[in-house]
Amino acid sequence: MQSLARMFLITMIGIVLLSFSAFAGDKIGARLSKVLEGIGPNDEVVVWVYFTDKGSHEFAKSSVPESVVSDRSIRRRLKVRHRDEVVDYTDLPVEQTYLDRVASHVVKVRHRSKWFNSVSVCATKNQINELVALSIVKKIELLARFKKNNSEIETPRTPNEGGLKSPQERKENYSFDYGPSLGQLAQISVPEVHNTGNYAQGVIVGVFDNGFRLLTHEAFDSLDIIATYDFVDHKVSVVPNHPGHGGHGVNTLSTIGGFKEGQLIGPAFGASYILARTENDSSETPIEEDNWVAAIEWADSIGVEVTSTSLGYLTYGPPYTSWTWEDMNGNTTVITRAADMAVARGIVVLNSAGNEGNNPSHNTLIAPADGDSVISVGAVSPSGTRVSFSSVGPTTSMPPRIKPDVMAQGSSVRVASSINPTGYSSFASGTSFSCPLAAGVTALIVHARPNATPIEIGDAMRLTASNAGSPNNLMGWGILNAVEAINFISTTGIKETPTTPTAFKLEQNFPNPFNPTTNIRYELPKAAFVTLTIYDVLGREVRKLVNERQSAAIRSLTWDGTNNLGKAVASGVYLYRLSSVNDNGETFSDARRMILLQ
């Protein structure tokens, strides 16, 4: 009898263990599962822990209070959302008691994310098994880790090197004396915008970088900094604790917002700035994406309108695992998903395309530059030719999308010195510098067209750039033109006053006929599941542009003349149809014709 009882007990234990194993398998993500197989019980990994719900905040699920974000954030969101949907479930805080329970099982808590209802933690393999058993935990997945790409060139020079001005660089017909920074601004038509009195005044710009160790530089004397936070060391000051860190942030911030006549002027020197340290300079320390996610949520709550991020990272090799070029599809990495969520809240997100050059067999992008709503910026030389290190697309989405989006100067860029408060260099190179130039143009557009949505602004920047007639994965849509981008929004019917759609509407594409890109606009008065599909004259589907639930808004997107496989289609007449079903079951459908001329 004892033998039978022992066998029964062993069998029951086996059943319980098998059940727990299956249960754990449901909660542990595929990438994390692979890592756990190769580490010991006390080895540490950094993971995302996702919760099942928002605990005590669930009562507000059907009526989220607007007080969860600032008034400035609400006003910005109203450009893309109906008043009834200006805040949503993702804006509710993470339940504090859930955080406390997780904290008691891990080595360290890093960041919380209300958008993803999660927390990033450092935990051992044994602790992860403990977390799996918690009923409040929905899923646990590996957190991406990045390595700094040291190919970017930032050469410190002696004070005022390059300060001698050619005749073209002297103050002539412009409002300011741009000194050696004239070329990088004239290439994208910024001085002409400055002549109108537009310096991006009143626009809030977020710059995310590795810290800003020399904010006492003379180029920042008039810079309006309204908020700072260090997401690496968890402190308000963005000056890194290590005296050798934080130089890159000084360089990029001066590129967009510096002001010292005769030396350096940034395109958006009149804007207000939010500075976030999201990157760690330590060469042996992987960079985690949760710093950026925490920063974008923080900046959103303050009311940021434009963000500029000059990330330049390669994936780590063993023992670390991370994303690869195959994951650059706009929907996989957490950082890219967060960037797209920011755009859906009315924020224009710009990111360096990367410094990985051209690989004929696949893209060389860095996240979140792969986001379909993110404006990725490549680099050109002072003469306007593509710089060889500039990363290329396409994304691995289906259909593939062209990347980068736009280009600006990314070699021989004029920047403030990060070691001398009166020094400058004209030798900074990398997409880290083309990005803040493009972000500065974006801030000028926001100032001139304050009610334009991020999608409309992105369309205007692409469709007025130098290569708009034949965009490709080397140059994207080409070099920016700030004047034309501002005028494009004015001339394509985007209203200058806040507008809430009152009826479903599909507009005629513009331009029409076109080659190879055209812009399609439509209006949604209520949240609905939307499909926007292009057909040939025989009624066969050519391209599915939209297939998702969208909030009420005036929307605009671009078709680049390719099919669902990413291949260019032939000249001819095409039909595009918009269909929607809202939450009340009300339907809308309309179609229009357009002509592609190759």
Nearest CA among 454, 443, 493 for reference residue 194: 443
Helix, strand, or coil here: 445? helix
CA-CA distance, 180 to 262, in Å (whole number)? 7
At residue 52, what is the residue type?
T
Q: Cα dist. 547→198, 525, 529, 554, 565 in Å? A: 38, 17, 7, 16, 16
Pairing of strands 572-582, 587-596: antiparallel
Contact 125, 45 (CB under 8 A): yes
**HEC profile for 306-367?**
EEEECCCEEECCCCCCCCCHHHCCCCCCHHHHHHHHHHCCCCEEEEECCCCCCCCCCCCCCC
What is the greatest pairwise CA distance in the chain? 103
Provide CB contacts within 8 A for 202, sequence distance 6+: 271, 272, 447
Tokens read off for 58: 């669930």
Contact 208, 294 (CB under 8 A): no
CA angle 580, 586, 592 (to 5 degrees): 40
Say how many C-beta atoms besides its own lie within 10 A of residue 317's C-beta: 9
Domains of the chain (ranges; CATH) run 2-54+93-143 (3.30.70.80), 167-491 (3.40.50.200), 505-596 (2.60.40.4070)
Q: What is the pLDDT of residue 331?
A: 82
Please give the full DSSP string across 122-152, using - where no structure is assigned: EEEHHHHHHHHT-TTEEEEEEPPEEEE-TTS
CA-CA distance, 206 to 298, in Å (whole number)? 10
CA angle 137, 18, 31 (to 5 degrees): 50
Tokens read off for 98: 């859930």
Tokens read off for 284: 């042996």
Q: What is the pLDDT of residue 151?
A: 47
Q: What is the pLDDT of residue 503?
A: 82
CA-CA distance, 435 to 183, in Å (whole number)? 16
Q: What is the pLDDT along the chain (598 residues), one digit of tens a residue?
A: 455 555 554 455 444 444 444 445 689 998 899 889 989 999 999 999 999 999 999 988 888 888 888 889 999 999 988 888 889 999 999 999 999 999 999 999 999 999 999 999 999 999 999 999 999 999 999 887 655 554 454 444 434 443 334 434 445 589 899 999 999 999 999 999 999 999 999 999 999 999 999 999 999 999 999 999 999 999 999 999 998 899 999 999 999 999 999 999 999 999 999 999 998 876 545 567 899 999 999 999 999 999 999 875 555 544 555 667 888 888 888 888 999 999 999 999 999 998 989 999 999 898 888 988 999 999 999 999 999 999 999 998 888 899 999 999 999 999 999 999 999 999 999 999 999 999 999 999 999 999 999 999 999 999 999 999 999 999 999 999 999 999 999 754 443 333 457 788 898 877 777 777 787 888 888 888 999 999 998 899 999 999 988 888 878 788 888 898 888 899 888 999 999 998 888 899 999 988 887 6
Contact 377, 413 (CB under 8 A): no
Q: Cα dist. 38→42, 43, 125, 132 in Å? A: 12, 10, 10, 18
Provide CB contacts within 8 A for 272, sequence distance 6+: 202, 203, 204, 205, 224, 225, 226
DSSP state of 64: -
List of E strands, 440-585:
505-506, 518-524, 528-535, 541-550, 553-559, 572-582
Q: What is the pLDDT of residue 456?
A: 93
Question: What pTM value is reported for the model?
Answer: 0.77
Contact 465, 481 (CB under 8 A): yes
